[in-house]
Amino acid sequence: MSTARKPSIVVLGAGFGGLELTTLLSEAMGDAIDVTLIDKSDAFIFGFSKLDVMFGLKAPEAVRLPYKSYAKPGVRLLKRTVTAIDPERRRANTDDGVFDADYLIVALGADYDFDATPGLSGTNEFYSVAGAERLRDVLPTFKKGRAMVGVCGAPYKCPPAPSECVLMLHDYLMRQGVREACEISLVLPLGSPVPPSPDTSKALLAAFAERGIRFIPSRRVASVDNTRNVAVLDDGTEMPFDLFLGVPKHRVPPVVLESGMAENGWIPVNPRTLETKYENVYAVGDGANTGTPKAGVFAEGAARAVATALIAKLRQSGSGTLYDGFGTCYIEFGGGRIGKVEVDFFSGPVPTGNYFEPSVALRADKEKFGSSRRSRWFGS
């Protein structure tokens, strides 16, 4: 590395991982380094905000955090679409320029593979912002019949979200005065709603039973027949529906697949250091195969580990801290109450989860989680 110029770090993706990583680098190194953060969008949106938009609790514009508000010493955030990644050369091609790096971090998240589930693109999904916005207009037209939340593959982002969706749908239909005329089902490829925390899963199953929500575990939606309004599960079972709310199969974006970095749809990494098989190339967030859930708080934890490693290398002293695989997830139980689960993936021989009963008080915790990051990254 030449001493005549600043070390260059290129971060692809300004989600939880990219925002936290570049914030930490800026705090530690300031203008001593040259950090470029690249994202194709013009705003950040918390994943949990999509449910708020879908059920009409918040307007789409109210949950957008414009990237133009992100200003950190030593970091420039550019709106670009990444068109190619060369991990050997640590180079990213975009629709407006080529970026070479001493250190390259891929944090482009998980994409949705609609083609993996025939018929899915012809119906509703709530995992994209556009899908949530469309459903905001579709839901008021649903007044009777069978509603189904169907997950098309695992792993998927925010494991509790489908459970939250059916509970919030119950509340929504109650507010509309049509709940008695509707059935709600949840099809999940997992054996329980939150496998690392049996207590959380037990509480969710009790909430489903109390509200008359049917839970079908260890099954995924294999295809959707929109002419007959039938979802076909992976065991051949057919489930008719009047309203289908899908969770698409996930994988890394096509540009990552084309780079050769991925195996079986995800980027292999050392789960504690986030290093890929390429020198000075890291992957954090939903696209990295760490064994932890694909959720923002885990991307944030991985970013902290990578930041400490980079800072140690740049300062040529000390060493980085390992990714601890710990994260806190808030779960909407409906009725204004929120539960919480703290999950630890790496401390013991098996992952463990510490469950906190749903309460109205925990809503303040969740709001603080969002506001603290909004303030930290965007100064608002």
Q: Please give the average per-residue pLDDT across 25-30, as a whole number.
A: 96
Q: How many CA atoms lie less than 13 Å away from 45 in the CB half-sphere?
A: 23
Strand bridging mode 238-240 / 230-233: antiparallel
For residue 371, give the 3-state DSSP assignment. helix
Q: Please give the average per-residue pLDDT across 151-178, as a whole number.
A: 97
Report the predicted TM-score, pTM, of the whole model to 2 decimal places.
0.95
Where residue 51 falls (left for φ over 0; alpha for ψ -120 to 50; beta otherwise) is: alpha
Q: Which DSSP helix (H) or strand (E) runs through 146?
A: strand 145-151
Q: What is the pLDDT of residue 22?
A: 98
Compute the mean pLDDT over every residue in the chain, rounded to the nearest whole number.
Answer: 96
How does pLDDT run across 68-115, given as a tens digit for each residue? 999 999 999 999 999 999 999 999 999 999 999 999 999 999 999 999
Strand bridging mode 326-334 / 288-289: unpaired
C-alpha–C-alpha distance, residues 320 and 337, integer Å: 39
Q: Is the dihedral of CA 245, 249, 250, 254 positive or negative?
A: negative
Alpha-carbon torsion, ordered 261, 46, 363, 295, to 10 deg: -10
Q: Which residue has 């050369």 as its token pair? A: 89
How does pLDDT run across 169-192, given as a tens digit for each residue? 999 999 999 999 999 999 999 999
Do 72 and 376 meet the contact criterion of CB atoms below 8 Å apart? no
C-alpha–C-alpha distance, residues 206 and 80, integer Å: 46
Strand bridging mode 243-247 / 124-125: parallel
Q: What is the pLDDT of residue 5?
A: 83
The two three-digit tokens of residue 135, written as one number: 């459903």
Do 261 and 275 meet the contact criterion of CB atoms below 8 Å apart? no
Q: Cα 213 to the chain's mean position, in Å?
A: 25
Q: Please give the average per-residue pLDDT across 15-29, as a whole number.
A: 98
Res. 2: pLDDT tops 70? no
Q: Which residue has 């909407």 as its token pair? A: 332
How does pLDDT run across 39-51, given as a tens digit for each residue? 999 999 999 999 9
How does pLDDT run across 293-319, given as a tens digit for each residue? 999 999 999 999 999 999 999 999 989
Res. 4: pLDDT tops 80? no
